[in-house]
């Protein structure tokens, strides 16, 4: 797959680390568990959106944009990284923060990603839950255009065919790292939400004939809806790349058993997963995406879905900054 024809800026400190998790592997007494550290991409504390932004910001600059407009939930990791990427390339940012999680602690609205958004200096606007956020993006873009700006609109999570190219690149990186180790990967597991990461991964892995299966642990939508959304974006990304033949729809697999009460709503499994990886491997997950994704992996190992002798890779999509918005759940008692 030829990616050189697409406008791109360099934001990611790549390749990100690929590590074995010996303590977790022993603790769960199941498959060999590895982790791909896309929490270490480098931009604004890192995370998976940085890879997508290489192509999105590249296209924005190629179009002469002066102002980035994007959206996400209040504690959006995507928004944080987008603002930083725009700052790095001399563009302003307006971010729409959807109040998607109801009844959250006060920290959720002022700490974590929200604090960093403010430090990075973006214009932040809030929106109530339930609106058509893509429509809201378009409206803000029109407003800025009327004021003389040249806006470039980035959907939530950077999840469109251009953004998904970042995870086509990541798929090739994973194949290269596992080939160097002589490692046969039985499954690549990750948290799936806005679909761009999973779509890019399956397109990239299929495009290089790796035969590595991908399992997305949904953090928001039911399984059928999540799979349909990923397939749609994967087909669009496949077409954008000019790949031969039809995209193999059967390669898109999601599990929605670990969503709990909804997007951003804590679960006992998430809290356990965050504590397990922190206390046994010194790695911080996040409470919305990677925490629920890793909780799914842990539970599937305990249920025997993954077994001894297999090699399972967990893609860490970052977001530990969001932990500060969930103090009341993760550390409810004062330390002193």
| DSSP H/E element including 73 | strand 67-73
3-state DSSP helix/strand/coil percent for the chain, to nearest 5?
50, 15, 35
H helical segments located in 89-160: 106-110, 113-120, 133-146
Rounded CA-CA distance 2/316 in Å is 26
Q: Give the burial class of 260: count Cβ atoms within 10 A of its Cβ; 0-12 exposed, 13-18 middle, 19 or more buried.
A: middle
Question: How large is the C-alpha radius of gyration of the chain?
Answer: 19
Q: Please tell me which residue in 76, 159, 218, 290 is annotated as part of the active site.
A: 76
317, two tokens: 């999509």
64, two tokens: 């002469």
Contact 48, 76 (CB under 8 A): no
Contact 201, 214 (CB under 8 A): yes
CA 124 → CA 44, 78, 154, distances in Å? 17, 14, 15
Other beta carbons less than 10 A from residue 225's beta carbon:
13
Q: Which of 83, 85, 81 is nearest to 93 (CA)?
A: 83
| Residue 76 is among the residues annotated as catalytic for this protein | yes
Active centre residues (catalytic): 76
């Amino acid at each position: 797959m030829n990616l050189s024809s697409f406008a791109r800026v360099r934001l990611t400190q790549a390749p990100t680390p690929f590590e074995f998790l010996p303590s977790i592997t022993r603790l769960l007494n199941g498959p060999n568990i590895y982790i791909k550290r896309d929490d270490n991409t480098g931009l604004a504390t890192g995370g998976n959106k940085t890879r997508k932004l290489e192509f999105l910001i590249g296209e924005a600059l190629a179009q002469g944009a002066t102002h980035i407009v994007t959206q996400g939930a209040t504690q959006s990791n995507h928004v944080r990284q987008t603002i930083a990427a725009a700052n790095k390339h001399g563009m302003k940012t307006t971010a729409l923060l959807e109040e998607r999680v109801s009844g959250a602690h006060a920290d959720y609205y002022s700490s974590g990603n929200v604090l960093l958004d403010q430090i990075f200096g973006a214009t932040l606007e809030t929106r109530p839950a339930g609106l058509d956020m893509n429509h809201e993006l378009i409206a803000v873009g029109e407003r800025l255009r009327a004021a003389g700006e040249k806006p470039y609109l980035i959907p939530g999570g950077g999840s469109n065919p251009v953004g998904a190219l970042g995870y086509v690149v990541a798929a090739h990186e994973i194949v290269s790292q596992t080939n160097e180790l002589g490692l046969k990967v039985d499954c690549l597991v990750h948290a799936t939400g806005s679909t761009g990461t999973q779509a890019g991964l399956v397109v990239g892995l299929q495009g290089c004939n790796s035969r590595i299966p991908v399992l997305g642990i949904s953090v928001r939508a039911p399984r059928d809806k999540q799979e349909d959304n990923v397939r749609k974006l994967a087909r669009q990304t496949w077409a954008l790349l000019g790949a031969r033949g039809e995209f193999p729809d059967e390669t898109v697999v999601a599990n929605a058993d670990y969503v709990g009460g909804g997007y951003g709503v804590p679960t006992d499994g998430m809290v356990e997963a965050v504590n397990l990886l922190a206390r046994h491997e010194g790695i911080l997950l996040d409470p919305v995406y990677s925490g629920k994704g890793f909780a799914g992996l842990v539970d599937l190992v305990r249920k025997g879905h993954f077994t001894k002798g297999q090699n399972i890779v967990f893609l860490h999509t970052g977001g530990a900054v969001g932990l500060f918005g969930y103090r009341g759940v993760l550390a409810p008692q004062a330390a002193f």
